[in-house]
Amino acid sequence: AMGARGTDVAREAAALVLLGDDFGALLAAVAQGRRLFANLRKALVFIVAVHVPIVGLSVLPLLWHGPLLLLPVHILFLQLIIDPACSVVFEAEPLEPGAMHAPPRGRAARLFDRA
């Protein structure tokens, strides 16, 4: 159902009701959703790629009874630098070219895939 011209029956039967008669707003919302999903995927891949080595450098010396490579203060310092930088950088990423030409994702689409 769409805007002021939509009938009450169409509004009740519709899964999505546009309050205005502007399809441009719907297109902008889809673009922002695709940008958000892509940037969230990039941020999570980056966070995992950075945190796995930090965990490895913290845990492996304990398992091998060697000297600690990273003290808790070092890990805290890394977190204070890495996490804010990650959120700022990936929030500002623009929509990738061709993202609006891609088919819609299914509801079961995952942030991480096996690739």
Domain map of the chain by residue range?
A: 34-115
Helix (H, G, I), strand (E, B) or coil at 32: helix
| Rounded alpha-carbon distances, angstroms, from residue 47 to 38, 53, 54, 79, 86 | 14, 11, 11, 10, 8
Rg (CA), the chain: 22
Coil, strand or helix: which one is 84?
helix
CB half-sphere exposure, 93, CA atoms < 13 A: 20
Alpha helices in 92-115 (DSSP H): none
Q: Rounded CA gap, 64 and 112, in Å?
A: 32
The phi-psi region of residue 18 (left if phi > 0; otherwise alpha if psi is between -120 and 50; otherwise beta) is beta
Give the tens place of pLDDT for each residue, 17-58. Answer: 777 777 788 888 889 999 998 898 888 888 888 889 888 988
Least confident range of 2-11, 16-25, 86-95: 2-11
First-to-final CA distance of the chain: 40
Amino acid at 111: L
Grade residue 78 by pLDDT with cuts at 50, 70 and 90: confident
Record the tokens describing residue 17, joined without a space. Answer: 């009701």
- Residue-level pLDDT at 1: 46
pTM of the model: 0.70
